[in-house]
A and B are shown apart, each in its own frame.
Chain A
Amino acid sequence: MYVAVKGGERAIENAHALLAERRRGDRDVPELTLAQIGNQLTLAVDRVMSEGSLYDRELAALAIKQARGDLVEAVFLLRAYRTTLPRFGASQPLNTDGMDLRRRISATFKDLPGGQMLGPTFDYTHRLLDHNLAAGTEIPQAPLAPAPDTAARSVAALLSDDGLIEHPPEGHGEPADLTRDPLNFPAGRDLRLQNLARGDEGFLLALGYSTQRGYGRNHPFVGEIRYGEIEVGFLAEEIGFAVPLGTIEITECQMVNQFSGGDSEPPRFTCGYGLTFGQGERKAMSMALVDRALRATELGEATGAPAQDQEFVLSHSDNVQATGFVEHLKLPHYVDFQSELGLLRKLRADYFAQTDRADTQKAAE
């Protein structure tokens, strides 16, 4: 006999208790510490901070632990915490020429002021599983060179001296903020870049990749990728000058793309731009490709590819929104499904009544 479904509250509590149990796992294995996550799963922490749009290594590590390593869930936890924080303004624009570099590579010039600096990278490693790592062998101290004394101006700035590349756009005061104002279309580049910076790495990777395969091709070269530390300044109105808030790690990608120009303007290269917290080269590069693709209309290029469609890209880039809506299909839909069942039964009854009539008619003929 059917009993009206009761006890939802109790079931939820029990499910949460089981989740905590599974999160802890085998109690004979030492529990993960936030310091371990923060130090040894650095790139996961970086990704969660970027897409969570909150720079706090410790909170991101906590989110990863709480999410059992599910990074999208961790991003969600961080975002939900971020909403509760007061926002007191926008920082000074970062001048990345003055970054304390850990890595800086260019694919457009063999050598350039400031030099190429490989830094900590998976590039050029052979992807062979390292069983020494499984055994936990002691790692020798890595040799470190002193910081170069030449300033490393960006490739875009160097090209711009000769007018070979478009000038970076002038800022217009306070940048847009889609966490404070609803996203409206058409969206300006500041808003688009903010959206992409918070966007899902996998989604941007696929879109960026699609532009390389001909869906909105824009002939990209990696002008440069730089990763390192930079100080964030904030203009305090009360005292009238910028005060340093602290130092963050960022990755910046400047993509040099196909020229524009025509009758009224000399031809020059154009730019796509990507920026992430921490070390996030894949994301920064994908972001730069998509940023450039989204400028197709502005630059008078052919449009129609998915990566060039701002409503499509900006409305679907956020993994917290996407995962929520996809996973909400797990929630009960009894009522709507019942309505559909009713309609379907009616349509089927109509169908069979009609075929029966047709059969009777045929038999009578």
Chain B
Amino acid sequence: MTAPVYNFAYLDEQTKRMLRRALLKAIAIPGYQVPFASREMPMPYGWGTGGVQVTASILGPDDVLKVIDQGSDDTTNAVSIRKFFTRTAGVRTTTHTREATVIQTRHRVPETPLTEGQILVYQVPIPEPLRFLEPRESETRRMHALSEYGLMHVKLYEDIARHGHIATSYAYPVKVMDRHVMDPSPIPKFDNPKLDDCPALQLFGAGREKRVYAIPPYTRVVSLDFEDHPFEPYRHAADCELCGASDSYLDEVITDDQGSRMFVCSDTDYCESRRMRDGGNG
């Protein structure tokens, strides 16, 4: 038994080439799910193996990597993935959105607007937006091929009929370049508008489901809605109690057993930079 020697960023070059080919195809057909031969990674399926494989295949030695989960750089899984790349690729890491060239994320889009040259890599659990309406892959692929999205509109309509609102608050479906309906991954719908006309390249990786898809820079991304029930991003009506931000997505934190609560930025880098700038009063 000899100790294994791993390639730069863990994956062998053949695998990276296979992934890059799939990614190029994904970029060429925005919002279309490209099957790829997902590998077993040393972290469990469902914990970001898709995102990790995408990141591994695009990372170069000069890249600066940021990893967030729930908007935070310091949640357990973000720490684990960042460490993985520090160990296998030796790249520089950062918590600052502006400094990063590659940002891997789970469930959030950073509050700080992304810029040209940056790549945002999403971890995706279920890439198929139609999956819960139609469990069969052969069927959903056909529906995408024919742009048969009526079922999705019926679902949203039924929500309105039953609840008075569209009852989807995260993983809210979008249409990319007026063609493919796409799952933006389980980001809160608050983040959906950030996908539209974004200067950065957005890549999505689903390891267990073996799919990648992409939104090239400056692509039109529209959240599905109806004329009389337009899409509304949800945000709790409060300011962050640490930095005072009134435009960021907020986490609710229960502070005692008397039901006291406070609301703070979910994006920890955004919150910290604001407090730093304001001279630490927060």
Contacts and interface: CB of A to CB of B under 8 A. Distances in A.
A75 B136 CA distance: 28
Contacts of B85: none
A335 B187 contact: yes
23 contacts: A4-B272, A5-B72, A11-B76, A12-B80, A82-B40, A181-B37, A311-B136, A321-B46, A324-B44, A326-B46, A327-B46, A328-B125, A332-B70, A335-B170, A335-B266, A336-B170, A338-B188, A338-B249, A338-B250, A339-B188, A339-B190, A343-B169, A347-B167
Contacts of B137: 185, 311, 315
A330 to B, nearest CB: 9
A179 B76 CA distance: 29
A4 B264 contact: yes
A325 B242 CA distance: 34
B37 A8 contact: no
Interface in B147-206: 163-165, 167, 169-171, 186-190
Nearest to A185: B138
A333 B107 contact: yes
B70 to A, nearest CB: 5
B223 interface: no
Interface of B: 1, 4, 6, 10, 12, 35-42, 44-47, 49, 69-72, 74-80, 83, 106-108, 125, 135-138, 163-165, 167, 169-171, 186-190, 208, 210-211, 234-236, 242, 249-253, 255, 262, 264, 266, 268, 271-272
Given A182-B210, A325-B46, 4 more contacts: A8-B79, A323-B44, A338-B251, A338-B252
Residue from A62, A76, A311, A342 whose CB has the most chain B CB atoms within 10 Å: A342
B40 A83 contact: yes
Contacts of B37: 179-182
B14 to A, nearest CB: 8
A2 interface: yes
A81 interface: yes
Given A182-B37, A339-B170, A350-B164, A8 B76 contact: yes
B135 to A, nearest CB: 8
Nearest to B191: A335
Q: Main secondary structure on chain B at its contact with chain A?
A: loop
Which 6 residue pairs of A and B lie closest in terms of their CB atoms, listed nearest first?
A324-B45, A328-B46, A324-B44, A325-B46, A339-B169, A182-B35
A335 to B, nearest CB: 5
Interface in A22-65: 58-59, 62
B39 A83 contact: yes
A324 B271 CA distance: 32
A99 B129 CA distance: 49
Contacts of A340: 169-170
A46 to B, nearest CB: 19
A338 B190 CA distance: 11
Contact of B165 (A4, A320, A341, A347): A347
A86 B10 CA distance: 13
Contact of A336 (B136, B169, B252): B169
A331 interface: yes
A86 B167 CA distance: 47
B6 A2 contact: no
Given A12-B76, A82-B40, A325 B45 contact: yes
Contacts of B42: 80
A62 B71 CA distance: 37
A186 interface: yes
A93 to B, nearest CB: 23
* Most chain B C-beta atoms within 10 Å of own C-beta, residue among A84, A326, A338: A338
B208 A324 contact: yes
B44 A328 contact: yes
A78 B46 CA distance: 18
Contacts of B40: 76, 79-80, 82-83, 179, 320
B271 A4 contact: yes
A83 B41 CA distance: 7
Contact of B188 (A327, A328, A336): A336
Contact of A335 (B49, B70, B271): B70
Contact of A346 (B76, B83, B165, B268): B165
Given A84-B6, A321-B45, A324-B45, A343 B249 contact: no
Contacts of A143: none
A86 B35 contact: no
B87 to A, nearest CB: 13
Contact of A342 (B35, B74, B169, B186): B169
Contacts of A62: 1
A184 interface: yes
A354 to B, nearest CB: 9
A241 interface: no
B74 A5 contact: yes
Contacts of B252: 338, 341
Nearest to A350: B164
Contacts of A321: 45-46, 208
Contacts of A4: 242, 264, 268, 271-272
Contacts of B77: 331-332
A6 interface: yes
Interface in A307-321: 311, 315, 320-321
